[in-house]
Amino acid sequence: MSEAPDKFRRYLVPVEHLRLPDEPDLVHLSVYQWESRWGEFVTDLALCGRSAEQGALPDGTAVTCPECLHYQPKYQTALDLQAGLTRGSVHAPAAQDALHEQVRAAVKAAGLKQVWIAERLGITPKHLSQLLTGRVPLSLDWADRILALCGKRVRVVVEAIQAPKEASR
């Protein structure tokens, strides 16, 4: 790593093969990520599936494992995409915002008083208001309980991420 790595990102780094007599003499690639339990960056298995020595080799060490090199572009694209998402999610937690927004809209559309809903749920009107406005994170469980009183329920959709144009060429 030439610059200090970002703890929220994952990187591909060269790693040394296990120091065992039967191991082919190859430099592999592994994912490098922050491990909060140990307070340091750690490496994983090599991309080719072999175990490797812990820790990144110096930046610029040539990777010689053909299988790791074969998987490299695919991993790199995925990691770049994740990095873009992490950046985006700091400013736009889209799904969480949509959840607050839609639950709030459902409450409004049902014509229910927030005081009444809060009472049914056993929480204070203030807490309910905080859940609806997004001052307090709204869990799917709570969203579902509120929506049930409005005759609705949460439906979750997972969709594929559109890769940025320059990366999809």
Q: What are the DSSP calls for 13-54, one per residue?
A: EEEEBPSSTTS-S-EEEEEEEEETTTTEEEEEEETTS--B-S
Query: Contact region for Zn ion (CB under 5 A) — 64-72, 87-95, 121-129, 152-160?
Result: 64-72
Residue 165 φ/ψ, nearest 5 degrees = -55, -45
Contact code string over 132-161 relative to Zn ion, x by CB under 5 A: ------------------------------
Contact 70, 13 (CB under 8 A): no
Cβ proximity to Zn ion: between 23 and 80 the closer is: 23
Contacts of Zn ion in 88-117 (CB under 5 A): none
Distance CA 17, CA 51 (A): 7
Residue 31 in contact with Zn ion, rule: CB under 5 A: no
The three-class DSSP label of residue 10 is strand
Query: Contact region for Zn ion (CB under 5 A) — 24-32, 102-110, 144-152, 153-161?
Result: 24-32
Cβ proximity to Zn ion: between 46 and 118 the closer is: 46
Distance CA 4, CA 30 (A): 18
Residue 18 in contact with Zn ion, rule: CB under 5 A: no
Binding-site member from 10, 28, 100, 145 for Zn ion (CB under 5 A): 28
Q: In this structure, what token pair is assigned to residue 29?
A: 């690639």
Task: Look at residues 141, 131, 145 and name the one whose alpha carbon lies nearest to residue 100.
Answer: 131
Size of the site for Zn ion (CB under 5 A): 6
Residue 12 in contact with Zn ion, rule: CB under 5 A: no
Binding-site member from 12, 65, 99, 147 for Zn ion (CB under 5 A): 65
Where does this chain bind Zn ion (CB under 5 A)?
A: 28, 46, 48, 65, 67-68
